[in-house]
Amino acid sequence: MTAGVRAGARIVAVPDGRGGTALPVLDGAGPLAPRRTRATGDEARVMLVGAMSGPLGGDHFAVEAEVADGARLHLGSAAATIALPGQAKGEARYDVRLRVAAGGELRWLPEQLISVKGSELTVSTRIELGDGARLVFREEQVLGRAAEEPGRLTSRLTVRSAGRVLLDQELACGPGAPGGWDGPAVLAGHRAVGQLVVVRPEFEKEPMAPRLLGDRASLVPLSGPAVLVTALAADALLLRRVLDEALLTIG
């Protein structure tokens, strides 16, 4: 049996003392290569560039990002992440660990994750926020390529603010997932699912009202300074359009 690839990336953002954001740590290897791009105002921008295909079966990828008080970081990716079957047996794993100190701000806006037929991937995302931290987090998952059945995809997202849980949820789709994942109570036949978590201190005193955003999306306030947008769509393009419009609605 061929061993899977182990790869990680780590980014640390701190104030640069001149009104901007410095990146004293910007490390990555193999399929996870972080690259600094042109900054916007006081915000540092980093793109994750895939130097290899994956994750494949047996691979274990990990991304860590830390934002200090007074720093602003925008994290994206140059292309979609594609979960593929590989020679190694067993599932692949992708762990994301994000920490934002009080007074820091993180915008996590990568491209979609595509689950290819025959793949098996577990994604675990944990976000720790200090009191007063700001966050925009987008997650988009596409089940299969065009006219293709999906692989097995399990995704868990946990968000904590000042030690309390704002959100802790898991979704499993594809072959071997618990029954009903494709039924009317979950995906209802759609092949693209996404969510947007926005955390702002002002939501604590002035929470947004729950509402529907079109036919396949909703906005709900969380217990704390945050809102959650959940959306379904027929494909990745429509899903991105819905989430972009939702972010404009939040303002």
Q: What is the pLDDT of residues 147-172, one digit of tens each?
A: 889 999 999 999 999 999 999 999 99
Domain ranges for the chain: 8-22+35-47+71-78, 122-226
Are the C-beta atoms of residues 58 and 2 closer than 8 Å to each other? yes
Q: Which of these, 91, 93, 90, lies nearest to 81 by C-alpha position?
A: 93
Q: Is residue 83 over pLDDT 60?
A: yes
Residue 99 phi, psi dihedral angles, 5° rounding: -130, 130
User: Rounded distance, CA 58 to CA 192, Å?
Assistant: 25
pLDDT number for residue 189 = 86
What would you report as the CA-atom Rg of the chain, rounded to the nearest whole angstrom? 18
pLDDT above 70 coverage of the chain, percent:
97
pTM value is 0.94
Inform me whether the pLDDT recorded for 198 exceeds 90. yes
3-state secondary structure at position 137: strand
Q: Which residue has the tokens 């097995």?
A: 152
With cut-offs at 50, 70 and 90, classify the pLDDT of residue 177.
confident
Q: Is 246 left (phi over 0), alpha (psi -120 to 50) or beta?
A: alpha
pLDDT, the chain, mean: 93
Average pLDDT over residues 112-139: 96
Residue-level pLDDT at 51? 60
Parallel/antiparallel/unpaired status of strands 217-221 and 211-212:
antiparallel
Strand-strand pairing, 105-109 and 226-233: unpaired
pLDDT value, residue 141: 96
